[in-house]
Amino acid sequence: MSSLYKPFSVSDGPCKDAILKRGCLSQQHPTIALTSIPSSCFGVRAGGVSTNCYPLVPSETRRNTRNLAAAAIGGRKVTHPGKAILAGGIAGGIEICITFPTEYVKTQLQLDERANPPRYRGIGDCVKLTVQDHGLRGLYRGLSSLLYGSIPKSAVRFGTFEVLSNPMRDVNGRLDNTRSLLCGLGAGIAEAVLVVCPMETVKVKFIHDQCSLQPKYRGFFHGVREIIRDQGFRGTYQGLTATVLKQGTNQAIRFYVMNLLRNWYKGDDPRKDMHPLVTALFGATAGAASVFGNTPLDVVKTRMQGLEAHRYRSTMDCAFQILKNEGPLAFYKGTVPRLGRVCLDVAIVFVIYEEVVKLLNNVWRTD
């Protein structure tokens, strides 16, 4: 009689060759429910105890199993939004400390309007004069405003992208290119409104203020206080329309290209690992595509946030005046330094993000 209550192993009886089905569990895959079992597997002896199967798996366990199975993406699970926010923030902070001098030079060249005699003859001249006048620290003027903003910016970007993209993935965890474009657009708009616009406004004013004969901003918090006192809270949201357009198209292009290259690289094997160098190469390519795609919007945004922003009635008026007074090539001012910065920026951010997520998966269980 004791044998009636002994758990039966699928490999020991008529269920040996059965395909997995709901109600029985495989020894090799204890979390996957069985799909088809011979009727002989369901013989019941006295007392209602099945001779051939383990007890039925509770419905809640089966639901969790399906969710975990659906979460597998390219050899890893869907990234939890909390992990995406934390990993994105860390990646953004590290990246901006490395690449800020190129952002400084790009902004200075964009502010060097042709309406006045240009101060800088090019990238090298801008770096030379800045170091000559302010020392090496001059290349990091405005870093504090960008650092305070870069951490939450990347956190919002990746967190929003994961929230939007996770429900859109197919059963294999793939995200098609059109949906990656839309998710990237949503991530860009979110970061523009919540973080980028006020951060960029303060950064541009700081850099522009350095060109003045008597700079009035002594530091980040002093500058923010002065801007709000003089212009109100709206003063930190100058150029919002241009910023939304720029950031939305930026992230739409970047995530689209990154997803396109990732899907191409993995081919029919979604579990194929990507080496960090491959991720960096794809990230740099995505960054370059975004630079050529939306630098005109970046130039307009920078002008709308500078100290001379009062000269423009709107985003369209700013674009019209640039075209009228400086010609179409003015929309691509600062392209070279921006190209160097953005390629490095996107490559670093994607690599650090992916590596931090891997580390978090080892210490932070969200299953």
Does residue 22 carry a pLDDT above 70? no
H and E: helices and strands count for the chain: 11, 4
Task: Give the mean pLDDT of 208-231.
Answer: 79
Report the share of the chain in percent with pLDDT over 70. 77
Q: pLDDT tens across 245-302, in order?
A: 889 999 999 999 999 999 999 887 877 889 999 999 999 999 999 999 888 888 888 8
Say how far apart CA 197 and CA 335 lie, in whole Å: 20
Q: Is 145 inside any structural domain?
A: no
Q: What is the pLDDT of residue 42?
A: 47
The predicted pLDDT at position 83 comes to: 92
**Structure-model confidence comparison of residues 11 and 280, the more confident one:** 280
pLDDT, position 114: 52
Q: Is residue 339 part of a domain?
A: no
Nearest by Cα to 168 from 185, 180, 156, 151: 180
The larger pLDDT score, comparing residue 103 to residue 347, is at 347
pTM confidence score: 0.66
Do residues 145 and 203 lie in contact, with contact meaning Cβ atoms separated by under 8 Å? yes
Rounded to whole angstroms, the Cα distance separating 359 from 81 reads 15
From 187, 201, 135, select the one nearest 157 (Cα to Cα). 187
Banded model confidence at residue 73, pLDDT cuts 50, 70, 90: very low
Residue 257 lies in a domain: yes
pLDDT digits (tens, 9 = 90+) for 117-160: 778 888 889 899 999 988 888 888 878 777 888 899 999 999 99
pLDDT, average across residues 98-106: 84
| 314 belongs to a structural domain | yes
Average pLDDT, the chain: 78
313 assigned to some structural domain: yes
Residue 290 placed within a domain: yes
Q: Which residue has the higher pLDDT, 15 or 90?
A: 90
One-character DSSP codes across 107-146: HHHHHS-TTS--S-SSHHHHHHHHHHHH-GGGGGTTHHHH
Q: How many domains does the chain have?
A: 1
Asked if residue 48 is part of any domain, the answer here is no
State how far the Cα of 163 lies from the Cα of 38, in Å rounded to an integer.
42
| Average pLDDT over every residue of 13-23 | 45
Question: When comparing pLDDT for 46 and 260, which is higher?
Answer: 260
**In this structure, is residue 252 part of a structural domain?**
yes
Structural domain boundaries, residue 278: 240-333
Closest CA to 157 of 250, 88, 83, 82: 88
